[in-house]
Amino acid sequence: MIIRFKPGIKARELTGLRRKLTELLPGSDFVSGRGFVTVTASAPELLSEQLAAIENLPGIYSTDLSVREACPRVVKAAPPDLDALFKKPGRDNFIFIAGPCAVEDAASYLAAAKKLKAAGATALRAALFKPRTSPYAFQGVGVKGFGIIKKARRLTGLAAVTEATSELQLSAIKNACDIVQIGARNMRNYELLKAAAAVRLPVLLKRAPGATLKEWLLSAEYLLKYGNGEVILCERGDSFSKPDKRGLNLEILRAALKTTALPVIADPSHAAGDRFLVPAQALAAVKAGADGLMIEASLRPESALMDGRQTLNIRAFSELVKQIKKLRAM
């Protein structure tokens, strides 16, 4: 942590301030500079715990907590066993989570699930609850879809990834699904993060558009702090509304891969917003080192109740899987 002092602080005040910092951060190392002090804490959590007290001290101008200091559990986390999470995806271990944006009905979803497995999917998108900007838009089939998901799991042997938009949904998700997703809109829903951690299902956490690396990883830190050690990070791009600004943030994706051993995957469908742009975004993520992809794919994207514009058909998904496998084999 870097602590900067207010300009013009007097030597006597500075001496007292440094003494107070030593009391607040026992066992820490302090290296003084001109107008600032760099602190290396004996326990990184201590810096966050004492941050408010430090900022309230007279003479403090600003504090700067690094990502590694703010997210000690994320930094130290061991990677989850992807073979176990995704029911033995194969020697490559690259993850392909595929399916329509939302489950719409049993017949189309089950037919798509079989074809997606044959095309190379290692897990199923299985969204039943969808947060929508408009209250009139399709919100998902809700609880009646859990039976569909159970059938799809039995039919394909694939893990199901289901988004939770409320704490009240989590127990039912645990009984029917394999991985709970925290979507981009809920990345900062800290009570939902705590509740999801307590359920003890693996959690896939999407980055909210515009969120910094630190903000994203702090949300993951919530999951780890409150008891969940199996977290998958998912980069989904930066803008909902500006076509010229859409796309995966590969800089943040690479930074996440360098900062933590947790798996980092990408969602090129939401990042692109257009099915014709999805393959290029997917391949870029693979080249950047992503551990997997979450892709919207269905039998008839043109008739989907939501996000059909960015959804691949089965043939396009199959071709993309082949391209990625070829690229990774090089």
pLDDT in tens, 117-146: 999 999 999 999 998 889 989 999 999 999
Last residue of a domain, one of 13, 41, 65: 65
Domain containing residue 306: CATH number:
3.20.20.70
Residues 148 and 270 in one domain: yes
Residues 170 and 120 in one domain: yes
Contacts of 18 (CB under 8 A, 6+ apart): 30, 32, 37
Specify if 324 maps to a domain.
yes
Specify if 43 maps to a domain.
yes
Query: What pLDDT is recorded for position 82?
Result: 78
Mean pLDDT of 308-317: 97
Mean pLDDT for the chain overall:
94
Query: What pLDDT is recorded for position 42?
Result: 85
Query: What pLDDT is recorded for position 276?
Result: 96
E strand or H helix at 2: strand 2-5
Does the structure show a pLDDT above 90 at 167?
yes
Query: What pLDDT is recorded for position 244?
Result: 62
Query: What pLDDT is recorded for position 95?
Result: 94
* DSSP tag of 77: P
Specify if 70 maps to a domain.
no
The total of other beta-carbon atoms located within 10 Å of residue 142's CB is 13
pLDDT bin (cut points 50, 70, 90) of residue 84 is confident
pLDDT bin (cut points 50, 70, 90) of residue 93 is confident
Query: What pLDDT is recorded for position 80?
Result: 87
Residues 39 and 93 in one domain: no
* DSSP tag of 56: T
Specify if 249 maps to a domain.
yes
Residues 125 and 235 in one domain: yes
Residues 179 and 222 in one domain: yes
Specify if 217 maps to a domain.
yes
**Residue spans of alpha helices (H) in the chain:** 11-24, 44-49, 51-55, 67-70, 72-76, 82-85, 106-119, 146-156, 170-176, 190-199, 213-225, 250-259, 268-272, 278-287, 314-329
Does the structure show a pLDDT above 60 at 240?
no
Residues 12 and 144 in one domain: no
How many Cα atoms occupy the beta-carbon half-sphere of 18 within 13 Å? 17
Q: How many domains does the chain have?
A: 2
Does the structure show a pLDDT above 80 at 72?
yes
Does the structure show a pLDDT above 60 at 243?
no
Mean pLDDT of 181-207: 97
Query: What pLDDT is recorded for position 205?
Result: 98
pTM for the complete prediction? 0.94
Mean pLDDT of 251-260: 98
Query: What pLDDT is recorded for position 136?
Result: 87
Does the structure show a pLDDT above 60 at 266?
yes
Rounded distance between C-alpha atoms, residue 70 and residue 221, angstroms:
9
Last residue of a domain, one of 23, 46, 65: 65
Residues 11 and 88 in one domain: no
Mean pLDDT of 243-253: 85
Specify if 231 maps to a domain.
yes
Query: What domain range includes position 25?
Result: 2-65
pLDDT bin (cut points 50, 70, 90) of residue 86 is confident
Residues 18 and 120 in one domain: no
Residues 54 and 96 in one domain: no
Residues 101 and 202 in one domain: yes
Residues 186 and 280 in one domain: yes
Specify if 13 maps to a domain.
yes
pLDDT tens string 7-17: 999 989 999 99
Last residue of a domain, one of 41, 65, 89: 65
pLDDT tens string 26-46: 999 999 998 999 999 988 899
Rounded distance between C-alpha atoms, residue 85 and residue 262, angstroms:
13
Residues 57 and 194 in one domain: no
Q: What percent of the chain has pLDDT over 90?
A: 88
Specify if 22 maps to a domain.
yes
Query: What pLDDT is recorded for position 91?
Result: 62
Mean pLDDT of 311-315: 98
